[in-house]
Structure 1
Amino acid sequence: MMTGATSVLIIYTGGTIGMIKNQETNTLESFNFDYLLKYIPELKKFNYHISTYQFSPPIDSSDMEPVHWARLVEIISTNYDNYDGFVILHGTDTMAYTASALSFMLENLSKPVILTGSQLPIGMLRTDAKENLITAIEIAAAKNPDGTAIVPEVCIFFENHLMRGNRTTKINVENFNAFRSFNYPALARVGIHIKYAQNLIQYPDIIRPLFPHYLFDPNVVMLTLFPGIQESIITSLLHVPELKAVVLKTFGAGNAPQKEWFIHQLRDATERGIIIVNITQCTSGMVEMQRYKTGRQLLDIGVISGYDSTPECAVTKLMFLLGHRLSEKEIRHRMNTCIAGEITKV
């Protein structure tokens, strides 16, 4: 346990939040976070010890991959005893994927890991970057009277809402409210005060230490159904070499075409050991595969429910479980088990 002033480590991976305009070229460039206080002098008002770690070179979030998730876990694990909380600055496009992945990789997390970013660069006058960063730091440093973290989870903070990372998806490219957690309430809402919903927050086993994970298997694909989808496309996708799992985005409450060729292709894939997880294309709600005949037929051929998983969560959870070389039976079991607050089972 740390003594003295509260300490927060800011990890800058890349993204819009770390951009400033080069006055000579009129282009946006990443700035050196060693000069963080110069650009955000408000941070001096915090009675915290704030340190920074910068990816070099910074990574566009479109290029984010499992190797970078493992790097983040290594940074957090290495510095875990030295800081009370962590803030990850990340591009918005894949932030929900990273947050979901980290929620599984940081097993028994007891300190806040808050991801944030911005829609406008930090160097612009009317930016959302400063507010997001300042509040993320305050949340990362927040403690209960007994010294434990108020929010010991991997979260995304954006535009006045603190959301569980593996429940969050990007929904807007234009407005400041870029993220939404449709199937789980916000863990905190920020106005004049930060109001935490402590009954919704997940707490660790205080006896067990942090257990970092680093293994991933990316041989997963996401398949979105649509009217008129062709058999040749489904056949080709399900026979990709090394394919191990499919996130199947179905209609409504988990429904899919009843065409004979479609059912045959999915049954054949599951019999070959490919794990198929059914999630809804809808932004809110969950699949209920026993509700309609079209959903029950998927259950009958071995497709499993993803409940109310976000696409980002379903993909990263599969990659995480596959990376640990678990048996097909065990992966199916864990996909139907809530291991980091990621699904709601009814």
Structure 2
Amino acid sequence: MLLIHTGGTIGMVPSLEGLMPGAGIVEAAVGKRARVVSFEPLLDSADVGPVHWNQLLDLIEAENGPVIITHGTDTMAFTGAALAQALAGWPHAVVLTGAMHPLGLQLDAEVNLELALAAEPGPGVWLAFAGQVMPADRLIKTDSQSDAAFRAGAPSDDVVPAWEKRRFAEKRLAVLTLSPGLPPDMVAAALGQLDAAVLRVFGAGTIPTNPALEAVLQAAGIPMRAVSSCENGGLTKGAYAAGAALWRVGVQNGGQETVEAALVNLWLQL
């Protein structure tokens, strides 16, 4: 079995500035139970992005079998969504894991790693964490301190397509949170720098009723996908007149997608 070690808390050591990735820690814990390929340099997950998602996809597809990935928790939901969507239809299991504490302390890292090594969840992308093996396509990190830091969001009802090679292009995407009083000129400036954007909107799908804001969205000329700022329930198109502007200008309805899943969806559209 292949284990890809990207970095993250699970393999970190103390430094004068706080925890940082340390070489050889995950390899020592795994021993001969898996073949370990480590990123060079090892990464705090805050530094993981589309280039690294493509690197993971190359390694996964070359292995053509079950794969475990050790990864930091801060962007685990982004990587989970990226791999799940890019590997839709892939016939093997990819199991992500990480920890809130480093290996060697006999806390959650050892337990999570053992769970990942033993898991046989079937095809798909999964997260082994805090005693659970859950789908990784719509992960939500609910706690920055607790060992039980994740839950799985609402499952996708999309039909799983046949597998094909998918990669993330060098594009400029971002998540924009629409908040009360947000100046339309600021939204215009941000959208003008992007190739696509996720709009994090209110509740079931509303935004401030402002003709200037609607004009900005209309003129953006890029794909935009809306998701709710609420963890549960998602968007309901047509529920409120205050959200009508979104659909008039052609913003995509992300439904119950997480922010991370919506961003990945847009990236793969490009």
TM-score higher than 0.5 here?
yes
Gaps of 5+ in 1: 1-7, 143-149, 186-199, 323-346
- Alignment counterpart, residue 111 of structure 1, candidates 88, 92, 99: 92
Instruction: Provide the C-alpha distance between the structure 2 equivalents of 1:305 and 1:52, rounded to a whole number of angstroms.
Output: 40
- CA displacement, residues 153-212 of structure 1 (integer Å, 9 cap, x when unaligned): 111221122222121021211101111223239xxxxxxxxxxxxxx9x9978xx6x533
For residues 132 and 205 of structure 2, what CA distance do their matches in structure 1 show? 29
Distance 2:152 2:18 in 1: 36
Distance 1:65 1:203 in 2: 26
Q: Which residue of 1 aligns with 2:164?
A: 211
Aligned in 2, Cα 1:263/1:29: closer, same or farther, shift over 3 Å? Answer: closer
* TM-score of the aligned structures, taking structure 2 as reference length: 0.90
Q: Tell me, yes or no, if structure 1 residue 129 matches structure 2 residue 109.
A: yes
Distance 1:231 1:203 in 2: 37
* Counterpart position of 2:24: 32
Q: Which residue, out of 37, 44, 68, partners 1:60?
A: 44
Q: Using the alignment, how far apart are the partners of 1:124 and 1:259 within structure 2?
A: 54
**1:69 counterpart residue number:** 53
Aligned residues: 270
1:297 aligns with 2:245: yes
CA distance in 2, matches of 1:262, 1:51: 53
Whether contact under 8 Å (2:237, 2:253) holds in the other structure is yes
SS in 1 for 2:68: strand
Q: Call closer, same or farther: CA 1:297–1:35 in 2, change over 3 Å.
A: closer
TM-superposed CA distance for 1:107, in Å, is: 3.7
* C-alpha separation in 2, matches of 1:309 and 1:217: 23
Whole-angstrom CA distance in 2 between matches of 1:279 and 1:28:
33
Mapped to 2, the partners of 1:283 and 1:62 lie a distance apart of 22
Is 1:277 aligned with 2:232? no
SS of 1:183 mapped into structure 2: coil
Contact preservation (8 Å) 1:217, 1:319: no
- After superposition, where does 1:75-154 map in structure 2 within 5 Å? 75-80=59-64, 83=65, 85-125=66-106, 127-139=107-119, 142=120, 150-154=121-125
Tell me by how many angstroms 1:105 deviates.
2.0
Equivalent residue number for residue 5 of structure 2: 12
Is residue 10–residue 51 contact of structure 1 (8 Å, CA) maintained in 2? yes
Aligned partner of 2:232: which letter? S
8 Å contact 1:20–1:31 — kept in the other structure? Answer: no
Letter in 2 for 1:265: V
In the alignment, residue 130 of structure 1 is paired with which amino acid? E
1:28 is displaced (CA, Å) by 5.5
* CA positional deviation for 1:232: 2.3
Distance 1:21 1:249, change over 3 A: closer
**2:263 counterpart of 1:307:** no
- Alignment partners' CA distance in 1, 2:264 and 2:153: 18
Distance 2:48 2:91 in 1: 25
- Give the residue type in structure 2 aligned to 1:306: G
Is 1:156 matched with 2:149? no
Partners of 1:110 and 1:204 within 8 A in 2: no
Distance in structure 1 (CA, Å) of the matches to 2:140 and 2:263: 13
Specify which of 189, 203, 213 is matched with residue 252 of structure 1: 203
Q: Give the match's secondary structure for 1:57.
A: strand
Separation (CA, whole Å) in 2 of partners of 1:112 and 1:14: 20
| Cα deviation digits, residues 47-94 of structure 1 (max 9, x gap) | xx52211112211111112111111111111111xx4x1110001111
The secondary structure found in structure 2 opposite 1:58 is strand
Distance 1:261 1:167 in 2: 33
CA–CA distance in structure 1, aligned partners of residues 188 and 27 of structure 2: 53
CA contact (8 A) 1:9 1:50 kept: yes
- The answer on whether the counterparts of 2:8 and 2:21 sit within 8 Å (CA) in structure 1 is no
